[in-house]
Structure 1
Amino acid sequence: MPTSPRLSVLDLVPVRSGQTSAGAVAASVALAQRADALGFTRYWFAEHHNMPAVASTTPPVLIASIAARTERIRVGSGGVMLPNHAPLVVAEQFAALEALAPGRIDLGIGRAPGSDPVITQLLRISGPTADVDRFPDHVADILSLLSPDGATLRLTSGREYAIQATPAASAVPTLWLLGSSDYSARLAAELGLPYVFANHFSGEGLEPALDLYRSGYTPSERHPQPETILTLNVSVADTAEEAAERALPQLRSMARLRLGRPMRPLETVDEALAAPADSEGDELIVRMRQRWVIGDADAAASAVRRLAERHAIDEVMVAPIAGSYASEPADATPGRVRSLELLAERLAA
């Protein structure tokens, strides 16, 4: 029987119509606890800003909350968008998280802004941030700052100044580089870091990026071998029909994003099914569905296995995008929970 990849979860904390941010976060807490009980490897939060359908604006806050409410699962960011933050602040936040949950913290770092141009500008004029053109330097800085020995800054006077993200680190978070292009793949290989391909967002350029990463990999002390995660949108249900219905709100939301239309909270499944035909959006949805896993348990598990085997992926990180019917509670996401349960059951078999 084929070997199944490790399974993890990527959560954007979706907000649907009629739901508050508090309800969305409560649903994600419950989902993380279920993933913990089911044996998933890690649970990551993405960073997005000013999006009506996404409540994952501050990964470190959400990570701390989930770490306190779970037992064994690793928790982290998928990812922190480094251009929005000062490297020292990121290092300090994740050093503190590591102290709160030793051996369970991941720091996934991305180079994209995670927001629209207006919010990106606002982030960069309202506080200290990282220069996107110096992204490789800032990643290296964070690695140094998180290490027990810390980093050394040479002042203009010539004096050396010691800096540490935390005074007495006993362990450090695992740092991952995220991306959907050659850039991040090359940098992860150069620095000897594990690599995450953002297949859930793009899907283009997967094979070239993985080839660049593996062929150019420089072994590091913590990571002697290359290691890969592939993210994947999934909607899994007891029937293929239900899985398709539950996928529709997220598909329609992504179509609006791609077409530059105004964003709004996720529709309920009922609202999405009742929406009028939209030739441009519907055509885009057909294309996106080809890269998503939408189906019953057996079909979905087979698709995940095939994808992992084809690209020699170590771990598949699923973004459970199954939407909710209007009759379902506003502080829970039964469709997302069921997606995880069915995948875990079939891929463990």
Structure 2
Amino acid sequence: MKLAVHDLLMLNTGETPKENVQKTRGLVQYAESLGYSRYWFSEHHGFPASASIAPELLVAYYAAATKTMRLGTGGTMIMHYSPLKIAETFKTLEAIAPGRIDLGLGRAPGGGPAEIMALSEGRPMLDRDPQMYGKINDILALLTDGQAADASPLYRNVFAAPDTDEDIPQPWMLGSSGQSAMKAAELGLGYSFVKWFGYNPGISPAVFRAYRDSFKPSVFFDHPIVSMDYRVLICETEEELHRHEKSFELSYLTLGQPQATLVSPDRAESYVYTEADEARLKHAYDNRILIKGTKQQVKDILDEEIAAFHIDELMVHVPVYSLEARKNTYKYLADMYL
């Protein structure tokens, strides 16, 4: 089993983005020391509570602080950018850290209507492919040989520099509903499903079987690979879990609120859950959108998920105020699976 981290660089209450970026440097290095395979950064526009706005810049910065672990975007919101610019950016990153760059192909906006319009400079979105699969085809063509002979007419006569020889960024299809799984299989891409978004918590294992059965090897992947992304908190004892769980849960209840920073355990303790909060949390735990517990409790849950979905890689998002609790979660997972 491989392990990976999905990081939104959520700010603690009172923390600055500068402080968070420096703190994350230590977390990236710690994950690498534990044997994690990759570390991804998100792209969220108009979210002051997150320091992960331009993930490709974070990839470049943390590449200089690591030696073996893959770094990538989870994801790059491709609707906002030209395929040529995306290919050039990630080929440049590949030149910086050969064999260690991932490109998560995100088809969501990563922001609200105002941010979408601002990123497009007020122009309406004219992409004729609502799932942007045509745009993905153009990106992949430009990544492979620099000249997109199989791309749409606009990109057939351009060259995506720099030339990185045989080193190619590794593209992943991201999904939160399961709809893109078959496209990932057709294109020969890894498939990363973000379960903690909660858009399709009851997704059938048949989706992932179909991805594996239909997978066509490509220059990017010679075999199918499924990565499943969970929100996880692991503590040594029930007492420790009780201290940190409410901070962890509030990060879920406030998901999507641009100003919602991670709150300390003491501050979280004073928050009184409403009936709606309790119902939402129950749904999240029942459907394994959220996973918390001691080491054995969490391992039992994850082992069931691995068996049901034939997961190749566990990716975890650990939005909790305590740096120690977050590092412990990474370590306990490494103890279990590496």
TM over 0.5: yes
Q: 2:291 aligns with which of 283, 290, 293?
A: 293
Q: Which moved more, 1:223-232 or 1:210-219?
A: 210-219
State the one-letter code of the partner of 1:136: Y
State the one-letter code of the partner of 1:299: Q
Q: Say if 1:64 and 1:97, in contact at 8 Å, map to a contact too.
A: yes
Structure 2 CA distance, aligned partners of 1:308 and 1:221? 27
Structure 2 CA distance, aligned partners of 1:276 and 1:154? 54
Q: Say if 1:207 and 1:311, in contact at 8 Å, map to a contact too.
A: yes
Structure 1 CA distance, aligned partners of 2:25 and 2:295? 24
Taking a change above 3 Å as real, the CA distance of residues 141 and 206 of structure 1, as seen in their structure-2 partners, is same
Deviations 1:149-174 (A, max 9, x none): 52247879xxx724223245441111
Structure 2 CA distance, aligned partners of 1:322 and 1:339? 10
Structure 2 CA distance, aligned partners of 1:189 and 1:130? 26
Partner of 1:27: 23
Partner of 2:237: 239
Partner of 1:150: 147
CA shift for structure 1 position 263: 4.2
Confirm or deny that 1:42 pairs with 2:38.
yes
Instruction: Report matched runs for 1:61-72 at 5 Å.
Output: 61-72=57-68
Q: Say if 1:236 and 1:322, in contact at 8 Å, map to a contact too.
A: no
Query: Secondary structure of the equivalent of 1:161?
Result: coil
Q: 2:265 aligns with which of 252, 269, 272?
A: 269
Partner of 1:347: 337
Q: 2:182 aligns with which of 186, 200, 210?
A: 186
Q: Say if 2:138 and 2:152, in contact at 8 Å, map to a contact too.
A: no
Structure 2 CA distance, aligned partners of 1:12 and 1:186? 27
Taking a change above 3 Å as real, the CA distance of residues 263 and 170 of structure 1, as seen in their structure-2 partners, is same
Confirm or deny that 1:11 pairs with 2:1.
no
Partner of 2:225: 227
Structure 2 CA distance, aligned partners of 1:183 and 1:277? 34
Q: Say if 1:83 and 1:111, in contact at 8 Å, map to a contact too.
A: yes
Q: Say if 1:180 and 1:198, in contact at 8 Å, map to a contact too.
A: yes
Structure 1 CA distance, aligned partners of 2:131 and 2:301? 38
Partner of 1:138: 135
State the one-letter code of the partner of 1:180: S
Partner of 1:336: 326
Structure 2 CA distance, aligned partners of 1:298 and 1:154? 51
Q: 1:87 aligns with which of 77, 83, 108?
A: 83
Structure 2 CA distance, aligned partners of 1:121 and 1:248? 36
Query: Secondary structure of the equivalent of 1:266?
Result: coil
Taking a change above 3 Å as real, the CA distance of residues 304 and 146 of structure 1, as seen in their structure-2 partners, is same
Structure 2 CA distance, aligned partners of 1:186 and 1:154? 21
Taking a change above 3 Å as real, the CA distance of residues 237 and 133 of structure 1, as seen in their structure-2 partners, is same
Structure 1 CA distance, aligned partners of 2:188 and 2:242? 39
Structure 2 CA distance, aligned partners of 1:141 and 1:229? 24
Partner of 1:328: none
Taking a change above 3 Å as real, the CA distance of residues 178 and 168 of structure 1, as seen in their structure-2 partners, is closer
Confirm or deny that 1:321 pairs with 2:319.
yes
Gaps of 5+ in 1: 325-332
Taking a change above 3 Å as real, the CA distance of residues 300 and 182 of structure 1, as seen in their structure-2 partners, is closer
Q: Which moved more, 1:215-224 or 1:194-203?
A: 215-224
Q: Which moved more, 1:190-199 or 1:124-133?
A: 124-133
Taking a change above 3 Å as real, the CA distance of residues 28 and 155 of structure 1, as seen in their structure-2 partners, is closer
Q: Say if 2:68 and 2:100, in contact at 8 Å, map to a contact too.
A: yes
Query: Secondary structure of the equivalent of 2:68?
Result: coil
Taking a change above 3 Å as real, the CA distance of residues 155 and 36 of structure 1, as seen in their structure-2 partners, is closer
Partner of 2:279: 283
Structure 1 CA distance, aligned partners of 2:152 and 2:195? 40
RMSD over aligned Cα, in angstroms?
Answer: 2.5
Partner of 1:58: 54
State the one-letter code of the partner of 2:213: S
Structure 1 CA distance, aligned partners of 2:310 and 2:291? 18
Q: Say if 1:83 and 1:130, in contact at 8 Å, map to a contact too.
A: no
Partner of 2:110: 114
Structure 2 CA distance, aligned partners of 1:218 and 1:312? 18
Q: Say if 1:73 and 1:104, in contact at 8 Å, map to a contact too.
A: yes
Taking a change above 3 Å as real, the CA distance of residues 126 and 38 of structure 1, as seen in their structure-2 partners, is farther
CA shift for structure 1 position 244: 4.5
